Structure 1
Amino acid sequence: MSDRRLTPFSGRIALETLRGQVAAGAFTEGEPARVILPVVDLSPAPGALRDRQLIFGAAVTVIERRAAAAFVQAAADGYCGWVPAVALGAPARPTHVVSAAATHVYREASIKRGEVMSLSLGARLAVLDEDATFLRIAEGFVPRPHLRPLDPPETDPVAVAERLLGTPYLWGGNSRAGIDCSGLVQLALALCGRACPADSDQQSRAFGDFLPAGTVPRRGDLFFWKGHVTMACDGERLIHANGYTMSVAHEGIGACLARIEAAGDGPFLGLKRPGA
């Protein structure tokens, strides 16, 4: 258990699955919960800078509650960390996902009566009722055009990523409010029903061997550098959340490779094809 990001152990309490592997003061089966705020930081210690973020509807297992914080493990990718306890609510069975770049939850089934919160692409919702215009969730009403059922999943991760063009770059970000390179890739693949780790180093190990040098990129292929990942749109362009434009942007593949090499940010590691 060398990777703390994937180790469900708060330093005092561990999941029962780690019994005999870590010296914990106590073990627990954990408590199911879900994120009920639009977006929340997932941090290595209470109040610390974020490692990643979780968005509305994300399922978690609560391992420890300590004052105003809770140590959790995300169900989607196993990532562990601390979140504010106020960000968690009772678990719910999601039925729909936000498929627009962002949406609002309204107090009533009217766009003129005020909103409760904003939600990002990828937020998972448990729909209770619906009509021709709105779908009702426990927190309010969401415009029908901004949602789609969880099943079947989408089929084109590049098209998903392109909905976030112009989103500001944010280190560790996972939402329309701000996102980083690995967050964009994970979100795009997740909406297409493909499991994907959270950080670029984890992603670089997750999809088999690198393709042979000189392979012509296909739509959806992933380019890796140490600490950076991008997604091919076709054989000439890619999309990525990047610190160069400080946004989610398209870039020519050749131009991106040359720019990163010239900046001295490390060599190109290679190309991978998720699902290949």
Structure 2
Amino acid sequence: MAPQPGHQAVVRVPVATLWTAPEAVRPIDRPALADAPDVAAWVAGMDRDQQVGDCVLTQLLLGEPVLVTETRPDGWVRVLALGQPAAKLDVRGYPGWLRAAHLTTPTDAPSAGALVVDVGRTTLHAAAGGPPDLTGVVLGTRLASAGRPVDGWRPVRVPGRADPLWAPEGDLVPLPGERPEAKEVLAVADRLRDLVYVWGGLSTDGIDCSGLVHLAWRRYGVTLPRDADDQAEATTPLALDDERPGDLYFFARPGRRIHHVGIVTAEPHGGRRRMLNACYLTRRVVEEELPPDRVATLVGAHRV
């Protein structure tokens, strides 16, 4: 059944891309629009300019909930991404357009036994040790346990599937019940060094600056807003030089709103600061000393 306005749905594919409008998509975006999207191929096919096209808003992971607000006969739906706060746009969640084929009806299955993917990407199989069924399930994806592990494989519930799929047991960890330490979140983000920069990206196929922060905290069950300026509003300002690894640096040009965020990787020393960030200029996730242009636009350090 197609998603209907006013009803919730959940993402049924490993990574679904949220667009500004159906008319904004480009020929290069075809792999991301398929009923079974190939996000890795989509990212690999883009050049430097296409990686920063502003037609992409964000991405949603397998099982992520949305509220459908509008449907079109051509297979597009307008939604609110309920797990990605965006206060300046809609207090309910991030608004944008998805392919209806990437959504399914939520199940009433209990959410006890919540697990989270703790590797860059994993593949779900039709049976323990059986053939691959769903590839490209990425870091930070939440799954519900469907039973006990068997010979190193764990059954999980997957939206849109009547029967469980099976994941390598070592690729999943229980979703923690306690708030993580900032250094634990930094360690997750640090595993994404050299990942390609994609505007609006929120997966281990490609990511942007605020996506890196959002995804690293999501891995531990903490929901931060999606965009850098909203992340600044949702975190606690610090006096510069009081920041510690795992805190956040925010950047803005004079008279403009915050446009960039990075994760502090070292205590400041002699006015020199370091951060991990998805860098628009290098098109990679890099750990670096703040270059002069970043020093000039640094507007504060915050703590989650």
Deviation at 1:47, TM superposition (A): 4.3
Structure 1 residue aligned with 2:225, among 192, 197, 208? 197
Q: Which has the higher contact order (CA 8 A, sep 6+)?
A: 2
Match of 1:84 among 99, 103, 106: 99
SS at match of 2:196: coil
Contact 1:153-1:191 within 8 A present in 2 as well: no
- The question of 1:211 aligning with 2:238 is answered yes
**Contact 1:33–1:90 (8 Å) recurs in 2:** yes
Structure 2 Cα separation of the partners of residues 122 and 47 of structure 1: 30
1-structure distance, mates of 2:234, 2:179 = 21
Question: 1:257 touches 1:268 (CA, 8 Å); kept in 2?
Answer: no
Kept in 1, the 8 Å contact 2:247–2:302? The answer is yes
Alpha-carbon distance, 1:234 to partner: 2.4
Letter in 2 for 1:122: G
Give the CA deviation at 1:257: 4.1
How has the CA–CA distance of structure 1 residues 151 and 47 changed in structure 2, closer, same or farther, with 3 Å as cutoff? farther
| TM-fit CA distance, 1:228 | 0.8
Q: Which residue of 2 aligns with 1:229?
A: 261
Whole-Å Cα distance in 1 between the matches of residues 291 and 299 of structure 2? 11
Q: Which of 121, 127, 138 matches 2:139? A: 121
Query: What pairs with 1:9-158 in structure 2 (closer than 5 Å)?
Result: 30-48=6-24, 49-67=55-73, 68-76=75-83, 77=85, 78-92=93-107, 94=111, 95-110=114-129, 113-129=131-147, 130-137=149-156, 138=158, 140-152=165-177, 155=180, 156-158=184-186
Q: Give the 3 Å change call, closer, same or farther, for CA 272–146 of structure 1 in structure 2.
A: same
What displacement does 1:131 show? Answer: 2.0
Check conservation: 2:179, 2:222, Cα contact below 8 A.
Answer: no
Q: How big is the alpha-carbon RMSD for the aligned residues of Structure 1 and Structure 2?
A: 2.2
Unaligned runs of 5+ in 2: 25-54, 86-92, 253-258, 269-273
Gapped runs of 5+ residues in structure 1? 1-12, 14-27
Aligned residues: 237
Question: Against the structure 1 CA distance between its residues 186 and 63, is the aligned structure 2 distance closer, same or farther, given a 3 Å change threshold?
Answer: same
Q: 1:116 to 1:185 in 2, by over 3 A?
A: same
Match of 2:229, SS state, is: helix
Distance in 1, Cα, partners of 2:297 & 2:200 = 22
Contact 1:106 1:141 in 2 (8 A): yes
Question: What are the superposed Cα offsets for residues 146-166 of structure 1, whole Å, 9 maximum, x if unpaired?
Answer: 111224257221012122222
Encode CA deviations 1:49-106: one digit per residue, 9 max, x unaligned.
Answer: 2111111111111222222011111221211111000000122455211111211112
Hey, what does 2:277 align to over in structure 1?
240
d(CA) in 1 for partners of 2:79, 2:174 = 27
**Sequence identity of aligned pairs in percent?**
33
Supply the distance in 2 between the matched residues of 1:115 and 1:32 (Cα, whole angstroms).
25
Letter in 2 for 1:103: T
The 3-state SS of whatever aligns with 2:122 is strand
Residues in 1 aligned to 2:234 and 2:80: alpha-carbon distance in whole angstroms:
19
Q: Which amino acid is the alignment partner of residue 242 of structure 1?
A: C
Is 2:15–2:61's contact at 8 Å kept on the other side of the alignment?
yes
After the TM superposition, which of the residue ranges 36-45 and 175-184 deviates more from structure 2?
A: 36-45
SS of the residue aligned with 2:212? helix
One-letter amino acid of the structure 1 residue matched with residue 129 of structure 2: S
CA distance in 2, matches of 1:179, 1:97: 19
Alignment deviations for residues 211-251 of structure 1 (CA, whole Å, 9 cap, x no partner): 224x2320211001131100012215321111233222211
TM-score by length of 1: 0.78
CA distance in 1, matches of 2:62, 2:179: 19
CA offsets 1:20-59 (integer angstroms, 9 cap, x no match): xxxxxxxx6x212111111111122224321111111111
1:268 and 2:283 equivalent? no
Deviation of the 1:268 alpha carbon: 1.2
**Which letter does structure 2 place at the counterpart of 1:260?**
R
